[in-house]
Amino acid sequence: MSDSRLQRLERAWEASGSVEDRAALLHERLRAGGLSERGLHLLAYVGDPGAAQLFPGDANDVSSLLEENVLPWAERDPRDEVVGVLRETLEHMRSQLVDLAAGVLAGEGYECEGVSARRPHAEALERLEREGVHAPLVLAEWYPLVGPVSFVGYAYHWEDTSERIHTLVNADPFEVKWTAGSALDWNEEWIDPEVGFKIPFAPDPGHKANYSSSGAYHVVGGAVPCLDARVYDDDSGFKGTLLQHVRSAIAGRGFLALPKDFELRSPGD
């Protein structure tokens, strides 16, 4: 009975594509033991709307699933399904980021480097793995699907001491730029005894504002293959996971620290 019900629910979802039918299918898989609560959480976390509707808590909070600062794969995880949903989510994020770069931010006087597709750095990933470091899947999938993104843009310098410029410098423009050189230059200095393997993927807020400062953003690499990992800022510590970081940036129009009612102006205004 269960198999026939699953087949009916799957056909219904394939025919409609609705969130409700997807949630009904996942609910039956949970009931039949073909999907674990952890698997449901992972699907919801990477952006499956049916799983998000069914999951009882905050799907974006994966703190209970993290081990050694990374979100490792478990034996029963629906990996192929999670990867498929993640790729769809990243494609959607790309369209959101393109709209931001071409629309809102440009209209407010920013000159963004923009979004450009680039193939993943396979050689760099292989080098990391030979060293026993696994880049989180979210980072590895970012480049073939989204490409390097830089919403830095402001041509201000620290010498301008106005309160408004200080606010901008203290803000956190969104940037994900991880190059082959980053991984090919990997060395033991990346190993933090308290944090783990730190893979740099973006400069710190000061550098993004053309201000010479210390630190950088890193995503923690795992000793085992992992879906995602925590983001670590040398200056302020852990800042959630990489996928959370991206979602926060998009929600804030590319800026993690600016209030939503903050009025951006063009240079010289």
Q: Is residue 243 part of a domain?
A: yes
pLDDT tens digits, residue range 112-142? 555 555 555 677 778 778 878 888 999 888 8
Q: Specify whether 49 is located in the same domain as 129.
A: no
Task: Give the pLDDT score at 49.
Answer: 96
pLDDT of residue 135: 87
Give a yes or no: residue 137 inside a domain: yes
Low-confidence ranges of the chain (pLDDT < 50): 1, 153-161, 165, 264-269
State how many domains the chain has.
2
Q: Give the span between the Cα atoms of 229 and 71, in whole angstroms.
A: 6
Give a yes or no: residue 267 inside a domain: no
211 and 113: one domain?
yes
pLDDT digits (tens, 9 = 90+) for 169-180: 555 667 776 655
Asked, for residue 7, whether it belongs to a domain, the answer is yes
229 lies in the same domain as 174: yes
Residue 88 placed within a domain: yes
CA dihedral 195, 199, 204, 209 (to 10 degrees): 180
Indicate whether 57 and 90 sit together in one domain.
no
Residues 179 and 226 in one domain: yes
Whether residue 263 lies inside any domain: the answer is no
Query: 108: which 2 tokens?
Result: 């407010």
The whole model's pTM is what?
Answer: 0.82
Who's near 158: CB < 8 A, 6+ residues apart?
169, 209, 211
- Domain range for 7: 2-61
Determine, yes or no, domain membership for 27.
Answer: yes
122 and 11 inside one domain = no
- Please tell me whether residues 174 and 125 are part of one structural domain: yes
Q: Is 3 exposed, middle or buried (0-12, 13-18, 19+ CB in 10 A)?
A: exposed
Q: Are residues 86 and 56 in the same domain?
A: no
Residues 34 and 139 both lie in one domain = no
Same domain flag for 49 and 101: no
Residue 264 belongs to some domain of the structure: no
- Per-residue pLDDT, 1: 41
